[in-house]
Amino acid sequence: MVDATLVEDYHSRTSGTRHLVESPVLWDETLRDGEQTPGVHFSPEEKLQIAELLSDIGVSVLNAGIPVVSEKEARAVDLLAHAGLKAKVLAAARTVPDDVDAVIKSGASHIAIFVAASNVHLQYKLKMTQEEVLAASLKTVRQAKDAGLHVAFVTEDTVRAPFDFVERLYREVQAAGADRLVVSDTVGIMTPLTFRWYLEEFCRRVEPRDLSVHCHNDFGLATANTLTAMECGATAPHVCVNGLGERAGNASLEEVVLCLEALYGVHTGIKTEKLFELSQLVEELSGVPVAANKALVGYNAFSHEAGIHTHGILAHTLTYEPLQPEVVGRERHMILGKHTGKTAVVEKLKERGLTASDPLLVELLQHVKAETEARSKTDLRRFLMEYRRLFVRPGLSDEEFWTMVEAVGIRPVSA
């Protein structure tokens, strides 16, 4: 805990308006929504490697995937379900009996049954009426319950759907046995204030036994909205390592965990000191680089260069760091560069037991600044161009696709 004589803690003043559960159930979606990040795919063995670390770190539930997607995906779910993980293994299914059967067959103990709720999804995507959605939901929830599974019921686009329909649908699936209800902000349009209003209304009208949320990051609000949901009493937030996921991604595991732990003092049961290791493993296996300025796990998150900042940090880390890097398994880096000040150079010299007179320090500092200012950016720029080539449009190239079109014999119809 932070020394209260040095900094004020206003979080304690708002604790009366929060309804945080004592033991949150961290529900990881890295291997499902995270894998749906454009260009990302994990082999069954890679999924197992990530799942083992997630489980070891203390994640409660992990979504292994959707077995009906492919044979390989079914094998991955099966592999994780039988790996003896401490975390509960969940697999996802549409409100289609064959999907639910595939989950039952996989050996997963938990299922997430999902269907869309908003009018735009029903009319244009599912081409189903509300009555049809309700009937399919009830049928598959009962099917999964009869097989002894823990059932989470999820609607996509919950927060853009008519509330009367949401209320009726969730009430009925809960009565049919659904254990956990998931509200989704599928396109990330909620703000903390609106989401609070929505969830309070949802809790009043639906009375969920167990509330979970799925928040997307289209406006950069996924973590904030997830935290809001926790403040409203949600038990099982959906999270993804490094904030992976469709488009701009989902709420990030590390951000949600540290907000709860470091800001609100909630014991999440997560081994936070392993979060950086997990972040790097997922970065490597997904091939999606973590942004340098990403909270907690970005490479710059505990680096300091500017003179005023390094001076402050060297005097007391609390000046410019809200938490110690070791908490998330990291180290602090002092960067020598254009903005370096005298204190950092003095500190660096100490590494070899050296001290210097002021004129020599000034001279050394001039060299440090001049050298970094003169440094060529050619390599960095080349790397960035290559990075863009690989990432702006991952997946198959047009050339690869049109070659396949020819190979299967699709030809233009001649006039």
Residue written as tokens 């209304």? 201
Tell me how far, at minimum, the Cβ of 30 lies from Mn ion, in Å.
Answer: 12
| Cα–Cα distance measured from residue 189 to residue 194, given in angstroms and rounded to the nearest whole number | 10
Tell me how far, at minimum, the Cβ of 226 lies from Mn ion, in Å.
Answer: 12
Q: How far is CA 30 from CA 43, 86, 153, 212, 224, in A?
A: 13, 17, 19, 16, 19
Tell me how far, at minimum, the Cβ of 184 lies from Mn ion, in Å.
Answer: 7
Return the number of the residue (184 or 310) whose C-beta is nearest Mn ion. Answer: 184
33-52 binders of Mn ion (CB under 5 A): 33
Tell me how far, at minimum, the Cβ of 99 lies from Mn ion, in Å.
Answer: 17
Return the number of the residue (237 or 272) whose C-beta is nearest Mn ion. Answer: 237
Return the number of the residue (108 or 116) whose C-beta is nearest Mn ion. Answer: 116
How big is the site for Mn ion, counted in residues (CB under 5 A)? Answer: 1
Tell me how far, at minimum, the Cβ of 214 lies from Mn ion, in Å.
Answer: 6
* 149 Cβ contact partners less than 8 Å away, ≥ 6 residues apart: 103, 104, 108, 109, 110, 111
Q: How many residues does the chain have?
A: 415
| Cα–Cα distance measured from residue 281 to residue 53, given in angstroms and rounded to the nearest whole number | 9
Per-residue x/- marks for Mn ion, 212-251, CB under 5 A?
Answer: ----------------------------------------
- 3-state percent breakdown (helix, strand, coil) of the chain, nearest 5: 50, 10, 35
Return the number of the residue (134 or 213) whose C-beta is nearest Mn ion. Answer: 213
Tell me how far, at minimum, the Cβ of 341 lies from Mn ion, in Å.
Answer: 45
Q: In 3-state terms, what secondary structure has residue 252?
A: strand
CA nearest neighbour of 247 among 205, 285, 218: 218
Beta strands in 147-233 (DSSP E): 150-156, 180-185, 211-215
| Cα–Cα distance measured from residue 160 to residue 187, given in angstroms and rounded to the nearest whole number | 9
Return the number of the residue (33 or 261) whose C-beta is nearest Mn ion. Answer: 33
Per-residue burial over 231-257, b if 16 or more Cβ lie within 10 Å, else e, is bbebbbbbbbbbbbbbeebbbbbbbbb
7-36 binders of Mn ion (CB under 5 A): 33
Per-residue x/- marks for Mn ion, 348-387, CB under 5 A?
Answer: ----------------------------------------
Return the number of the residue (33 or 231) whose C-beta is nearest Mn ion. Answer: 33
Which residue's beta carbon is nearest to the bound Mn ion?
A: 33
Return the number of the residue (184 or 268) whose C-beta is nearest Mn ion. Answer: 184
Residues engaged in binding Mn ion (CB under 5 A)? 33
